[in-house]
Amino acid sequence: MDHNTVNAKNNKSNTELLLRFLKGSKLLFVLSILCSTLMTFVDMLNPQIIRGTIDNAIGGKPSNFPAVVNGLVEDLGGFEYIGQHLWIPAIAIAGLGLIRVAAQFGTTMLNTAGSEVLVKNMRDTLFSHISRLPYAWHMKNSTGDIIQRCTTDVDRMRTFVAEQMTAVFRISILIVMSLYFMFSMNVKMAFIATAPIPVILAYSVIFRKEMHTGFKECDENEGKVSDIVQENLTGVRVVRAFANERFERDRFEKMNNYYCSLWVHMGHVIGKFFSIQDVLCGLQILLVTVFGAVLTVKGEMTAGEYIAFVSYNGMLSFPIRRLGRMLSEMAKAGVSLDRLAYIMDSKEEQDAAGAVKWDMTGDIKFENITFAYEEGHNVLENINIDVPAGTTLGILGGTGSGKSTLMLLLDKLYDIPEGSGRITIGGKDIREIKTHHLRQNIALVLQEPYLFSRSLRDNIGIAGDHLQLEDIERASEAACLTEAIDGFTEGYDTFVGERGVTLSGGQKQRAAIARALTQNAPIMIFDDSLSAVDNQTDAKIRASLEERFGTATIIIISHRITTLSRADKVVVLDKGRIIEQGTPSELKSSGGIYQKIYDIQLGIRGEEVRHD
């Protein structure tokens, strides 16, 4: 496919996306354009009233206006009568001025309302789409860049549509009608006025390409600056704890300086563009003024025609000068629309054809699972695990062994490629189970618990609006969180701050566990989610889980042997492969990795292990 074909497809796609964003605001913009059109017609009539007053009413020259206009003048008493009563054209100009004010008010109000509806629709559409994009997509795209696209780029689109795109219609009418009146008054002068226009247009088109490239680079680097800010604001405790403020400041300033230099360069490009454009437009105005004066002195133009011609030339030069700004904004909007299209063109999570809701209480089987985040580097290789319904599976392994990846695949946060094995629940491939139904029935507590900037009640009860305070209290008690909550002044209404910053690590983990317990799901996954609690609390939570969820299938990932000691089966992973599996009692005397960790943590054969 050649470059032109690709550009044509992209332009068509972007146009369709823009029309989708305009849903709900199109009528407002159409009415705004109609008001703007009325305002333009009023502007066109004023020079003709002045021309007729000077040449015909005061100068007494014969009228060359259309018959309709001459008939209207006769109804008013004729040009001679108007010349004796100059208040008539004055009232006409004042009346047109009032109409223009009303039209301008309508244009501004409708444009403002339309732009706000447009922005709301864009934000709603983008947020809704982003929330349905695959987990893998979010891992590939930085948060700062996504936020920048949904704020700065959205605002640029609003500015372009509200201020530039609607102005295209007004400018088009200004150009067409100005040229019509200019050619109707003096063809020679009209050609002089229009001669520089093709040069200005060609020069503007050439500059647009350079501006588009520059604005794209500026936008991309603004996303990088936003990334650094977002990382530092969310990780401020780490930065302060390691006294790393200077390093982070230098890193930000380096990126910000580069970002600044890009805009300085764009300032030079835009400054050069507008300067040359001003020279060309000024030359055009000079030509009209000088040649118009010469022709008026020679008698080839009347004074009224000269004044009207200069007025129309001012109206013609305005859109030509405005063209530079429009092209600049168009270049920005083009880049922003491309960046928004990247989000909207990303495919949402979709269930396979014929996917069904399925009984989630059956056995779980991992069959020949091989998976890689990047081609050529397998994270998991040929994993086979059977988890009978209602049992507890423990998973042990070092960092990067693929433990968490296995659970992300079970929850369909990553898709298993065809030919790389399958995961079944009750004999049904999870690819054939509706994703929403699957996740509703799997309670997943991640390795790094995430709490929202809300109250504890809202965080724990996030699984559904149907949950009552009693449900939240029972889940908190099972997660051994009740004692901590009772110590807070506002209890369950305690605001936890961004990412749960006001809670300790153990409290955050227990809050995340309580949140998962409210689901009463038949499958429960704890991904190293007890690492920040003490052994006594760990034991209490495990005992509570066994008592409350005796029929649930539980998968526990942990580095702590005591956490895995009551599992029905333990699987040990190393570099994406299963190297040991069996009951805890079997593995603690098998002479493998499990036994070594067991001896180290429980202090039974520490010296022997150290000599090994």
Question: Tell me, what's the pLDDT at 324?
Answer: 61
Nearest to 228 by CA among 261, 266, 257: 257
Residue 158 lies in a domain: yes
How far apart are the C-alpha atoms of 540 and 557, rounded to whole Å?
A: 17
Do 433 and 495 have their domain in common? no
Q: Check residue 509 and give its pLDDT.
A: 83
Residues 332 and 412 in one domain: no
CATH of residue 540: 3.40.50.300
The last residue of a domain, from among 517, 545, 563: 517
Range of the domain at 484: 455-517
Residue 595 covered by a domain: no
Regarding whether 546 and 504 lie in a shared domain, the answer is: no
Last residue of a domain, one of 463, 492, 517: 517
Residue 331 has a pLDDT of 73
Confidence of residue 532 (pLDDT cuts 50, 70, 90): low
pLDDT of 317-350, one tens digit each? 777 766 666 766 777 788 888 889 999 999 999 8
Q: Which of 308, 323, 345 is the last residue of a domain?
A: 345
Judge if 369 and 488 occupy the same domain.
no
Query: Is residue 2 predicted with pLDDT exceeding 70?
Result: no
For 239-266, what is the mean pLDDT?
Answer: 83
- The whole-number average pLDDT for the span 177-189 is 82
- Average pLDDT in the 477-482 region? 84
- Provide the pLDDT for residue 519: 81
Quick one: 218 and 286 in the same domain? Answer: yes
The residue among 466 and 36 whose pLDDT is bigger is 36
Lowest mean pLDDT: which of 115-124, 181-190, 472-481, 493-502? Answer: 493-502
Q: Which has more confidence, 389 or 192?
A: 389
Query: What is the rounded CA–CA span in Å between residue 63 and residue 52?
Result: 8
State whether 119 and 268 are in the same domain. Answer: yes
**How far, in Å, CA of 567 to CA of 557, rounded?**
11
List strand residue ranges (DSSP E) for 160-267, in order: none
CATH code where residue 188 lies:
1.20.1560.10
Give residue 406's pLDDT band: very low, low, confident or very high (50, 70, 90): very high
Residue 255: what are its φ and ψ, rounded to 5°?
A: -70, -40
Report if residue 611 sits inside a domain: no
Helix (H) or strand (E) holding 553: strand 553-557
C-alpha separations of 168 from 17, 36, 284 in Å: 20, 10, 21
270 with 408, same domain: the answer is no
184 and 331 within one domain: yes
Reported pTM = 0.73
221 falls within a domain: yes
Q: Do 125 and 142 fall into the same domain?
A: yes
Q: 330 with 220, same domain?
A: yes
Q: Domain tally for the chain?
A: 3
Q: pLDDT at residue 547 above 90? A: no
304 is a domain residue: yes
141-145, 363-367, 570-574: range with lowest mean pLDDT: 141-145
Write down the mean pLDDT value for the chain: 83
Q: Which residue has the higher pLDDT, 266 or 405?
A: 405
Q: 316 with 398, same domain?
A: no
Same domain, 288 and 355: no
Residue-by-residue DSSP string for 505-539: HHHHHHHHHHHHHTT--SEEEEESTTTTS-HHHHH
Q: Is residue 196 part of a domain?
A: yes
**pLDDT at residue number 360:** 92
